[in-house]
Chain A
Amino acid sequence: MAANPMHQFKVYRIGPEIEISGVNLSFTNASLFMVISAILITVLLLFGTREKKLVPSKIQLMSEMLYNFIAKMISDTAGKKAKPYFPFIFSLFVFILFCNMVGMLPYSFTVTSHIIVTLTFAIFIFIGVTILGFVIHGFKYLKIFVPSGVPIVLLPIITIIEIISYLSRPVSLSVRLFANMMAGHTMLKVFGGFVISLGLIGGWLPLSFSVALTGLEILVAFLQAYVFAILTCIYLNDALNLHH
């Protein structure tokens, strides 16, 4: 059981089986770790903003830095118009970050290593951004499929290509996060298995690899949350400021 590197991704039911109109809504370990991440975020932000001191405590500093980081990222990539969407992007980034980081703890479960979770995020963003584009620009939003300065002969082909490239956004967004998390955790587990099977004599090399990979994985966990949020900003920017 422990030797199987894919075993860590298994979703199982905790508590009673709940089924509503044929849909299985039971509480699983994935739901549990999502709840844990959400609680951790709430605790951090509640405690961080409880006492607003001029000289911040460590926890206040952390939540303020988080806020500043996202605020700067949004204003850098999507401009001032994107300010109303700050709460959405902030929640998205912090939730993914905490899910990734909680997944780095031993015996925990990485929610974001399942494509259904990341694809749900990505499709929500995709549909939301598309609706937003149509609401703001009306049918002019379709112009993003028709780049300016293209000869008439090439226009139908370019339009098809642009549509495919637009539709590929949620796929690339979700696959990137899911693949990075799953590959990293599998690799950690494989090297962990090598330590056991090579024993006291040969196990030191994979152990050192394992330590290094853990560091890399923490970097990837942060980076993927960042990339996810920044790409959301870029898509938002495309919808808000039409230019082509």
Chain B
Amino acid sequence: MSDLEDLKTRLKIAKSKLQNTNLKKADKKGIFLGNAFKLGTELVAAVVVGTIIGFILDNWFGTKPILIIVFFIFGAVAGIMNVFKAAKKMQGDGN
């Protein structure tokens, strides 16, 4: 039983230490870094997907250069929107 008592006091000390060192800040830093990694690929992936869709549709309809250009632009817009959404979400989390 004395073991348990000992643990109790040790837990109390550890808990108060945790509150003092403000662990949350370090936690949040990791999330921000993860977000930063996220944004870059988010932008590129949409452009790539858009261009591939354009390429496939062009082959289907035989309208070679038109749809690939149109869908490239759509892809770029989608990428920017993705980044915008992610950034908005980050701001929401920050507040």
A residues near B (Cβ < 8 Å) are 54-55, 157, 160-162, 164-165, 167-169, 171-172, 175-176, 179-180, 223-224, 226-227, 230-231
Contacts of A160 in B (CB 8 A): 74
Contact across chains for A168 and B30 when beta carbons are under 8 A apart: no
Contact across chains for B34 and A227 when beta carbons are under 8 A apart: yes
Q: Which of B37, B44, B75, B82 contacts A180 (CB 8 A)?
A: B37
Contacts of B44 in A (CB 8 A): 172, 175
Interface residues on B, range: 20 to 34
Min distance, Cβ B30 to any Cβ of chain A, angstroms: 7
Contacts of A223 in B (CB 8 A): 30, 33-34, 37
Contact across chains for B38 and A171 when beta carbons are under 8 A apart: no
Min distance, Cβ A210 to any Cβ of chain B, angstroms: 22
Q: Which of B33, B49, B77 contacts A167 (CB 8 A)?
A: B49
Contacts of B79 in A (CB 8 A): 165, 168
Contact across chains for A231 and B38 when beta carbons are under 8 A apart: yes
Contacts of A180 in B (CB 8 A): 37
User: In the docked arrangement, what's the CA distance between A179 and B75, Å?
Assistant: 21
Known: A164-B75, A226-B34. A176 touches B41 (CB 8 A): yes
Contacts of A224 in B (CB 8 A): 37
Contact across chains for B78 and A161 when beta carbons are under 8 A apart: yes
Of all chain B residues, which has the CB nearest A219? Answer: B33
Min distance, Cβ A198 to any Cβ of chain B, angstroms: 31
Contact across chains for A176 and B38 when beta carbons are under 8 A apart: yes
Closest 7 CB pairs of A and B: A172-B45, A171-B45, A168-B46, A165-B78, A164-B78, A168-B49, A168-B45
Of all chain A residues, which has the CB nearest B30? Answer: A223
Interface assignment of B81: CB less than 8 Å from any CB of chain A: yes
Of all chain A residues, which has the CB nearest B82? Answer: A165
Contact across chains for A164 and B53 when beta carbons are under 8 A apart: yes
